[in-house]
């Protein structure tokens, strides 16, 4: 059935769009950008901020273009004196309740409010409130909240409730006393927050930011008693460039390595290498369970946000979780064991830094069950992509002019299977490449398991593996994760292997990734462009299967023994436990 088309004019420009299109989207088709503030497409479409108002001929008042549908013959005007005055007045009133320490704000270069003030020609704020004090909430390990910079746009609450199904924040009280907070104004550390950080990338101002740990890293780099090792996650190489104005999806692996070495790290390894170890361990675990030695489905454990959600909300599925540590934690464990032994360094003198797309990794590195038998925590500090970008900028490096560097080889060689870990479905595909070849004893003719690729929230497939049908599923975003869990619980869904990622699209869309304004986030498929770059790198890799990695073979042969063996289990596995959903001791 053909979709009905609607004809209208916007600023006297003829436009034809499908029925149901909003004025905001129709204007984009005409090359007209209507400013927005509270709008995030498909996430927060509430028409609350009134920045996007337009004149519609025949309407009694200005209309919010983000929610107002087009109609046949409609005449819209986006830049009249009435519209400009309304937007400017509205923005001044918003600014009247916003603490404006823009020069020292962590968000100053990416603040949509500051940019909007510039775009609308605001050169003074008649109603400024100079008495606003910081309203800091710092109890969460991954996030800092400052409600003195909150503009009540509800983007964070929509992301938390509608996309992530956590729903731990929302508007409290009414009128001038309205503020965003947890139920009963509890601290974030006391509620069911999974630390995913999606609220941070949704926020248009400096009201939400990651806990900045760059000072700790700089201190370690200048401590002569510390041997500082760093490793970036798979997805960081295709997102870091965005912080320096490069096109979305640009692979900057070589420049990133050079930048890390110039920052002063003693060794620059690759968490991709640890991802290959993850596949060896998780693949072995899956084969073991397929042969009747454990509950199915096996559910991946790479995403600490998903792990925390499972521990809080669905502890009945904890037996299904893979006991494998995440690649980040495996990386730290290998550095403080195998590398320490090879280099003749006391593990307690090694300081491990990870560069992650994820704010939940800041929580994961402090989980006590990750502690090694030596007494060391595998990773000392986890930085986001944004924090690394700040360190590079503060060091005065011209990132786009940096030469291409190479990882230090001992733990710096990885396969294409590890590279695609950064995209939803990547862990599943990487595991299948190794599991299928192990079970069949034959080399795969086709390495690409395209059925589990793409940005759909839930992807499923069935494969014939050594005469057995193996059903798999990859889901990202906790709303989709919950749908799959509900199906597994009531028996309507049956799988053998499941990959869950807390963030929609996987790590490429993590809460620690580069910030983009709402017009980019709403109308550009950032996850798809970033994933395309990872799959492109996979195609060009010398090795594309984890079990082919020469470093992996060497470490197992000389140090770990066989995959899933005693020593490997001691270093690379852990247990997950039910957690209280909220604190009740007060």
Chain position carrying tokens 């950032």 = 526
How many angstroms separate the CA atoms of 547 and 553, rounded?
7
64: β partners: 53
Question: Residue 289 in contact with residue 314, Cβ under 8 Å?
Answer: no
How many angstroms separate the CA atoms of 243 and 236, rounded?
11
Residue 484: which H helix or E strand, with range?
helix 478-490
Q: In three state form, how does the secondary structure of 514-544 look?
A: CCCCHHHHHHCCHHHHHHHHHHHHHHHCCCC
Question: Residue 423 in contact with residue 429, Cβ under 8 Å?
Answer: no
Residue 76: which H helix or E strand, with range?
strand 75-77
How many angstroms separate the CA atoms of 495 and 368, rounded?
31
What DSSP designation does 173 have?
A: S
Which strands make up the sheet holding 75-77, listed edge to edge?
13-18, 5-10, 75-77, 53-56, 63-64
User: Between vectors from CA 324 to CA 318 and to CA 326, what angle results, nearest 5°?
Assistant: 105
User: Between vectors from CA 227 to CA 221 and to CA 232, what angle results, nearest 5°?
Assistant: 75
How many angstroms separate the CA atoms of 32 and 11, rounded?
9
- Alpha carbon 271 to its chain centroid, in Å, reads 16
How many angstroms separate the CA atoms of 188 and 168, rounded?
8
Strand ranges, E, within 128-240: 136-137, 143-146, 170-172, 179-181, 208-210, 227-232
The residues carrying an active-site annotation are 282, 285, 302, 322, 361, 364, 369, 507
Chain position carrying tokens 């990695």 = 549
User: Between vectors from CA 165 to CA 153 and to CA 296, what angle results, nearest 5°?
Assistant: 160
What DSSP designation does 185 have?
A: G
Two structure tokens written together for 450 = 């395209």
Nearest-CA neighbor of 423 among 532, 525, 513, 272?
532
Burial status of residue 132 (CB atoms within 10 A of its CB: 0-12, 13-18, 19 or more): middle
How many angstroms separate the CA atoms of 411 and 340, rounded?
12
Distance in angstroms between the alpha carbons of the first and the last residue of the chain: 60
Question: Residue 438 in contact with residue 287, Cβ under 8 Å?
Answer: yes
DSSP-based three-state secondary structure for 156: helix
């Amino acid at each position: 059935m053909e979709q009905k088309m609607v004809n209208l004019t916007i600023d006297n420009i003829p436009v034809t769009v499908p029925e149901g299109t909003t004025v905001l989207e129709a204007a984009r088709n005409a090359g007209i950008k209507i400013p927005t503030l509270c709008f995030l497409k498909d996430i927060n479409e509430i028409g609350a901020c009134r920045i996007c108002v337009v004149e519609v001929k025949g309407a009694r008042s200005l209309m919010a273009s983000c929610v107002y549908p087009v109609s046949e013959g409609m005449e819209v005007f986006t830049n009249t004196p009435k519209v400009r005055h309304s937007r400017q007045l509205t923005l001044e009133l918003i600014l009247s309740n916003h603490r404006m320490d823009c020069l020292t704000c962590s968000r100053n270069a990416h603040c949509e409010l500051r940019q909007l003030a510039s775009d609308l020609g605001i050169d003074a704020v008649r109603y400024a409130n100079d008495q606003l004090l910081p309203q800091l909430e710092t109890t969460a390990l991954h996030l800092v909240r400052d409600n003195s910079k909150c503009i009540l746009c509800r983007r964070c609450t929509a992301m938390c409730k509608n996309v992530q199904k956590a729903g731990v924040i929302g508007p409290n009280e009414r009128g001038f006393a309205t503020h965003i907070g947890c139920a009963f104004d509890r601290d974030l550390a006391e509620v069911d927050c999974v630390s995913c950080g999606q609220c941070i990338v949704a926020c248009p101002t400096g009201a939400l930011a990651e806990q900045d740990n760059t000072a700790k890293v700089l201190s370690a780099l200048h401590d002569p008693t510390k041997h500082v090792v760093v490793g970036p996650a798979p997805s960081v190489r295709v997102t870091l460039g965005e912080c320096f104005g490069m096109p979305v999806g640009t692979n900057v692996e070589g420049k990133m390595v050079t930048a890390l070495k110039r920052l002063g790290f003693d060794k620059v390894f690759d968490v991709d290498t640890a991802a290959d170890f993850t596949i060896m361990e998780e693949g072995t675990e899956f084969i073991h369970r397929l042969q009747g030695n454990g509950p199915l489905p096996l559910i991946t454990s790479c995403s600490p946000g998903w792990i925390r959600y499972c521990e809080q909300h669905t502890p009945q599925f904890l037996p299904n979780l893979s006991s494998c540590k995440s690649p980040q934690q495996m990386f730290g464990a290998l550095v403080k064991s195998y590398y320490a032994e090879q280099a003749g360094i006391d593990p307690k003198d090694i300081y491990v830094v990870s560069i992650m797309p994820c704010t939940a990794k800041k929580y994961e590195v402090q989980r006590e069950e990750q502690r090694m038998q030596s007494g060391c925590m595998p990773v000392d500090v986890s930085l986001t992509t944004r924090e690394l970008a700040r360190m590079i900028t503060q060091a005065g490096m011209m990132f786009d002019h940096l030469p291409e560097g190479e990882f230090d080889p001992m733990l710096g060689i990885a396969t294409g299977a590890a590279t695609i870990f950064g995209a939803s479905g990547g862990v599943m595909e990487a595991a299948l490449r190794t599991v299928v070849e192990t079970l069949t004893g034959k080399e795969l003719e086709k390495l690409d398991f395209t059925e589990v690729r793409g940005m759909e929230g839930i992807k499923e497939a069935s494969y014939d593996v050594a005469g057995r049908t193996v059903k798999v599923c990859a889901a990202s975003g906790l709303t989709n994760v919950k749908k799959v869990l509900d199906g597994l619980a009531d028996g309507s869904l049956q799988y053998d292997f499941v990959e869950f990622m807390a963030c929609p699209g996987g790590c490429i869309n993590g809460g620690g990734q580069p910030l983009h304004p709402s017009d980019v986030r709403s109308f550009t498929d950032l996850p798809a462009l970033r994933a395309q770059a990872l799959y492109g790198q996979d195609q060009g890799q010398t090795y594309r299967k984890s079990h082919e990695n020469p470093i992996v073979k060497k470490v197992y042969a000389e140090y770990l023994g066989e995959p899933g063996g005693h020593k490997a289990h001691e270093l690379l596995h852990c247990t997950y436990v039910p957690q209280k959903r909220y604190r009740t001791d007060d």
